[in-house]
């Protein structure tokens, strides 16, 4: 089973790399819409990476952390959308 755990950790590392690439789009995004979507993609990739680590180490506590992080990611996107619409922009 060591190979399976190593594969899960390698896939989790790939998702972390994808999140870093998405954070570049947050920095260099030409529009606010690109930045909001990139933050959501980075958050989703982080949640996936945390769940893969939880599966590799067989720790259910990490799943609780991933669930809370996913909810915070969702609330962040809703709050930012509301803030942007109130400022006059349409998201």
pTM here is 0.86
pLDDT digits (tens, 9 = 90+) for 18-47: 999 999 999 998 888 888 889 999 999 999
CA torsion through residues 62, 67, 68, 74, sign: positive
* Joined tokens for residue 29: 């995004």
What does the DSSP 8-state code read for residue 30?
S
């Amino acid at each position: 089973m060591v190979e399976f755990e190593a594969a899960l950790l390698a896939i989790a590392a790939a998702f972390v790399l994808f999140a870093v690439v998405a954070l570049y789009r947050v920095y260099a995004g030409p529009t606010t819409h690109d930045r909001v979507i990139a933050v959501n993609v980075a958050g989703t990739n982080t949640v996936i990476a945390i769940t893969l680590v939880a599966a590799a180490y067989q720790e259910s506590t990490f799943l609780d952390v991933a669930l809370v992080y996913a909810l915070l990611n969702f609330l962040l996107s809703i709050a930012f959308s509301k803030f942007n619409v109130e400022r006059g922009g349409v998201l």
